[in-house]
Amino acid sequence: MKPAKIYASALAADFSRLGEEIKRVEPFVDGVHLDVMDGHFVPNLSFGAPVIKSLRPLTDLHFDTQLMMTNPHEYFADFADAGCEAVSVHIEVYPDPTEVAAMAREQGLRFGLALNPPTPADAIAPYMALCDHILVMTVHPGFGGQSFLESVLPKIEKVRERVDSNDLGADVQVDGGITATTAPLARSAGAEAFVVGTALFRAENPVDAAKAIREALN
């Protein structure tokens, strides 16, 4: 398995000081996770490409964007222009994501497939080779601050096993309820990238929180 990566989820930061919040944890994380929500695929709205673009000059961190949208492919050019390196789209939106993966690559974006908790690993099995990363949601998407669903651990194991047995390079990513306690459970199941929102930005000291999660993962 690759070394663990921590992605700070902007959704849990204070939006009035988003740049400052990201700069504070920058030396202690490996990327920024950006949750774009459209009010259709999930019952919530967050932010879009203009907000992401405003953050781009502030940091060289990897921008990993999860598109909780029913029509994300229509915005790939905007997200590429905003400085995103990677996008995830949901397999629930594109049961055959072959074409959408090609569209993301045409824009120079790294591509990933996300799976909601009820969606089985089998749904992405034929398409794993298209992916730079596979995002296994460990909460139902739409809101930060939810509890990690341990019932998803066997699916993380299954995805890990298929990545390895097929010699695929995709990172196995987890998102939702990740803390210093739950991150090691997901790590043992085979995750490499950990999206952390509440446990980082809502902690009394986000720098100490990032260090504690890193330590728990090592």
Q: Which residues are catalytic?
A: 35, 175
Interface mask (CB under 6 A) for ligand DX5, residues 180-199, using x and -? ---------------xxxxx
**12 belongs to the binding site for ligand DX5 (CB under 6 A):** yes
Residues 117-176 that bind ligand DX5 (CB under 6 A): 139, 141-146, 175-176
Residues 17-36 that bind ligand DX5 (CB under 6 A): 33, 35
The residue type found at 50 is P
Of 35, 39, 213, give the one whose Cα is nearest residue 137. 35
**11 belongs to the binding site for ligand DX5 (CB under 6 A):** yes
Nearest distance in Å: CB 102, ligand DX5: 25
Residue with smaller CB distance to ligand DX5, 32 or 130:
32
Nearest distance in Å: CB 177, ligand DX5: 5
> How far apart, in whole angstroms, are the C-alpha atoms of residue 75 and residue 63?
16
Which residues, 6+ apart, have CB-to-CB distance to 13 below 8 Å? 21, 22, 197, 201
Give the interface segment with ligand DX5, choosing from 7-15, 69-77, 115-123, 156-164 (CB under 6 A).
7-15
Dihedral sign, CA of 168, 109, 172, 212?
positive
Residues 52/83, Cβ–Cβ less than 8 Å? yes
Q: Which residue of 87, 91, 115, 178 would you call a contact of ligand DX5, by CB under 6 A? A: 178
Q: What angle do CA 91, 198, 43 make, to 5 degrees?
A: 45
Tokens 């990545």 -> residue: 163
Structure tokens belonging to residue 176: 């939702």
> How far apart, in whole angstroms, are the C-alpha atoms of residue 64 and residue 35?
9
Give the interface segment with ligand DX5, choosing from 8-16, 20-28, 117-125, 149-157 (CB under 6 A).
8-16
**Using CB under 6 A as the criterion, which residues of the chain lie in contact with ligand DX5 when the complex forms?**
9, 11-12, 33, 35, 139, 141-146, 175-178, 195-199
